[in-house]
Amino acid sequence: MIDTINVREAIETENGRYAALVREKLKKSNTYLINLMGSPGAGKSSVLLYLASLLKDRIRIGVMEADVDSDVDARLMENAGLLALQLHTGGACHMDAKMTLEGLEHLPLESLDLVVLENVGNLVCPAEFDVGANKKVTILSVPEGDDKPLKYPLMFQVTDCLLVNKMDAAPIFDFDLTRLRENVKPLHPGLPVYPVSARTGAELEAVATYLLHEMERT
């Protein structure tokens, strides 16, 4: 008889243990963690930079940039005056809780109100791993299409907030915001959806207000 081991269950159990440690660490330092997810090119870094410019005089912000390789985004954050840490995932297409905990240990959390983890660009793997964040925020861009909730449902089920970026380019693409909302609703009724533009800044003040409100509730 061949023994069978449920490897996925073991991985999820271990990840859950580290996610609990992340939450404990955040609670002790009174720091809020956002897991920012989305496809490559969706505008995660651009949106983050704009939001940081709106929030930097009100809260202290740190950023963890997760990539398979390079430090391009971390340098962008640093050049904008943000405390930034580059995380390399060693080829993994997502961050897990253990990686996140290791990153947090290299940040002065007692001096930060908010840490944003910009996850690896992907609509699949990041949705499957709880990193211990207080809030999951997903960015979908107009050029990706309004059908993405149908193709990658888990991401839209687990996220707490959806930003639809590049709305200034909507006239160029066959993108219907109403249709997107209809595709999201069965997966996550009541999900906050913000149509934004990192280029023009449209609706990002409303997102900043939402995030501050959510931080105050913890």
Q: What is the pLDDT of residues 25-51, one digit of tens each?
A: 999 999 999 999 999 999 999 999 999
The two tokens of residue 78 are 């640093």
| Token pair 């940039």: residue | 65
pLDDT at 151: 98
Answer whether 120's CB lies under 8 Å from 95's CB: yes
Q: What does the block give as tokens for 49? A: 């930079």
* Residue 171: Cβ within 10 Å count: 8
pLDDT averaged over every residue in the chain? 94
Per residue in 40-97, pLDDT (tens digit) is 999 999 999 999 999 999 999 999 999 988 889 999 999 999 999 999 988 888 899 9
170-211 pLDDT per residue, tens: 999 989 999 999 999 999 999 999 999 999 999 999 999 999
* pLDDT value, residue 6: 54
Q: Which of 158, 114, 162 is nearest to 139 (CA)?
A: 162
**Any idea how long the chain is?**
218
Inform me whether the pLDDT recorded for 4 exceeds 80: no
Cα–Cα distances (Å) from 184 to 36, 140, 149, in that order, read 18, 12, 6
What is the spatial distance between Cα 110 and Cα 58, in angstroms, rounded to a whole number?
Answer: 16
Mean per-residue pLDDT, 5-26: 83
pLDDT attached to residue 68:
84
Q: How confident is the model at residue 137, as a pLDDT?
A: 98
